[in-house]
Amino acid sequence: MKKSLQDLLDEGLIEQFTSTPPQIKEKMEIAQADVMLAKADIVNATGRAVDWVYTKAYNAMLQAGTALMCSRGFRPKRQSGSHHFAVEQFLKSEFAQDIAIDVLNAFGVARSSRHATVYDQIGTISKSQAEYLIVQTESLVASAKSILKID
């Protein structure tokens, strides 16, 4: 179920925040660098390296999503313990008209999968999953750049 902006505030997942253009730009630079690294690294990745490529692509999504949140005057509430979930839900609430639903859904799947491969069990990500996430990440980063009017 999609949460509203007010739901996210009421549940303590996000808070109002005044960001600066350099903060937003830095997050987007990280997103762009991470997706480029993931794209380059997937070519020869095998085994555990595939998990880390996936994690890089996911981090690019997280950074781009956080940049979009900041551009609207919000950020994940640090004490909530649900930083990643808050970014995902904010994007679905506030950018569903601007970002393809497949991309938003891929972010949610990647959030859970990344958590599992980092904290629970290594080797759970296939190369095709990582390749798919890279494509979805490139789309999210491109959408964020367009929304934020970044070249």
CATH of the domain at 142: 1.20.120.330
Number of domains in the chain: 1
pLDDT tens digits, residue range 102-140? 999 999 999 988 877 777 777 789 999 999 999 999 999
Sign of the C-alpha dihedral computed for residues 85, 89, 94 and 98 taken in this order: positive
- How far is it, in rounded angstroms, from Cα 107 to Cα 76? 16
Region 50-77: mean pLDDT is 96
DSSP notation for 34-67: HHHHHHHHHTT--THHHHHHHHHHHHHHHHHHHH
Q: What is the pLDDT of residue 104?
A: 96
- Please say whether the beta carbons of 63 and 28 come within 8 A: yes
User: Can you give the pLDDT at residue 25?
Assistant: 96
Encoded tokens for 66:
């956080």
Domain that residue 94 falls in = 5-148
**pLDDT (0 to 100) of residue 115:** 73
Whole-structure pTM value? 0.93
Which has more confidence, 30 or 78?
30
